[in-house]
Amino acid sequence: MRTLATVVATLVLLGGQGTSVQAQAPALPCRADHASLSAAGAVQPRALPHFIEIELTLQNHGPAPIRIDPARFVFQPDTGHRVAPASKDDVINALHRPSSVSVGVAGFITMGAVGISIGVGPFDLQVRTIETRLLRPMEVASGAIVRGSLYFRPASWPAQFSLVLEGLSTPSGDALPVLTLQPCAMPVRLLGSPGLVTLPAAPRTIAMSARAATGPLVVSVSSIELTRLATTLSVTVENAAGTEASLFVAIAQAQLVDAEGKVYAVRMLRSDLPDRVGPRSQTRGRLVFEPLPLEPGAAPVTLTLPGARVGDDVYDLQVDLRF
């Protein structure tokens, strides 16, 4: 019994949410642009029971602030009815509902998707993580980038969907055009009731010196960390041009492609590589992707960063990683 309690507690502390998820062919983030706003969205298979989480990145490249109201953003499945975003309370209440694997062990109370509540414990941390991710109503300043998650609960799991950004306005209340991201592919689907997940293997960090140049830009990778939950690259981008380089689109559409052609999507909220590189300078940070298999044969993989912009020129960056 003590061993079972230890295993369940370890699962929660390592972020195992307890839903069985099967990866299908991952898709590039879908995106849309109008005169002053760019948006990119990607489904994240975080295994939150019964919800689809979409990470949304917004960039205001106009001269004035833009007001956003995420409660008016709409999930439109390829078949079926439009769905409004779930509120924070809706998501948290769903976590409280007992699942088929909820057990009481040695004074622990298991709730929802293998969440354990003992005062301020893992369940509270899970709730706080969701609160941190949620995209909230705000003004997006000129030149600013905003990232956050929306949670939707459609009646079924569609193969494709559109994300319709309604309720955009100026600070004075004037309506701005609706922005529609389409078509967006669903890279994961729910297999059944929440259940226990496999404990992650110990991380493997491998040093490397992969490097490739395209135009005035050079991208290099100094290390790769492999776990059962994510693949993390330490990346440097150098800009030899006399004008600033923008990596906004490149990061939003970044992906890893393995030797068999399988694509692993970027997790934008966990990545911290800056999206701007000053003239004749460089920037460093991490890019986090869906996990590569740890078995032999995962390497080589190719990192692609399409759509890097320097002035009026656009470059697709690509570097091969061998380990």
Supply the CATH number for residue 33's domain. 2.60.40.1150
Question: Does residue 195 lie in a domain region?
Answer: no
Question: Does residue 197 lie in a domain region?
Answer: no
Q: Are residues 21 and 109 in the same domain?
A: yes
Whose CA is closest to 121, among 133, 137, 110?
Answer: 110
Question: Does residue 196 lie in a domain region?
Answer: no
Question: What was the pLDDT predicted at 139?
Answer: 94
Tell me the pLDDT tens digit for each residue of 263-289.
898 987 788 999 999 999 999 999 999
pLDDT at 120 over 80: no
pLDDT at 170 over 80: yes
Q: Are residues 177 and 310 in the same domain?
A: no
Domain finish residue from 190, 219, 248: 190
Q: Which domain holds residue 254?
A: 204-321
Q: Are residues 37 and 176 in the same domain?
A: yes
Quick one: pLDDT band at residue 28, thresholds 50, 70, 90?
Answer: low
Question: What was the pLDDT predicted at 107?
Answer: 33
Tell me the pLDDT tens digit for each residue of 56-102.
999 999 999 999 999 999 999 887 788 899 887 777 776 654 433 33
Split into its structural domains, the chain has a count of 2
Question: Does residue 82 lie in a domain region?
Answer: yes
Model pTM? 0.48
Q: Are residues 36 and 173 in the same domain?
A: yes
Q: Are residues 166 and 218 in the same domain?
A: no
Least confident of 26-35, 175-184, 268-277: 26-35
Tell me the pLDDT tens digit for each residue of 159-168.
788 999 999 9
CATH of residue 224's domain is 2.60.40.1230
Whose CA is closest to 49, among 175, 157, 133?
Answer: 157
Average pLDDT over residues 195-200: 35
Q: Are residues 30 and 158 in the same domain?
A: yes
Query: Which residues are within 8 A (CB) of 106 and not within 5 positions of it... i.e. 6 or more apart?
Result: 1, 2, 5
Q: Are residues 182 and 281 in the same domain?
A: no
Average pLDDT over residues 22-41: 72
Of 197 and 139, the one with more pLDDT: 139
Angle 313-318-323 from CA coordinates, rounded to 5°: 160
- Return the H-helix or E-strand segment holding 302: strand 301-310
Domain finish residue from 190, 217, 237: 190
Question: Does residue 198 lie in a domain region?
Answer: no
Q: Are residues 168 and 212 in the same domain?
A: no
Question: Does residue 272 lie in a domain region?
Answer: yes
Domain finish residue from 132, 160, 190: 190
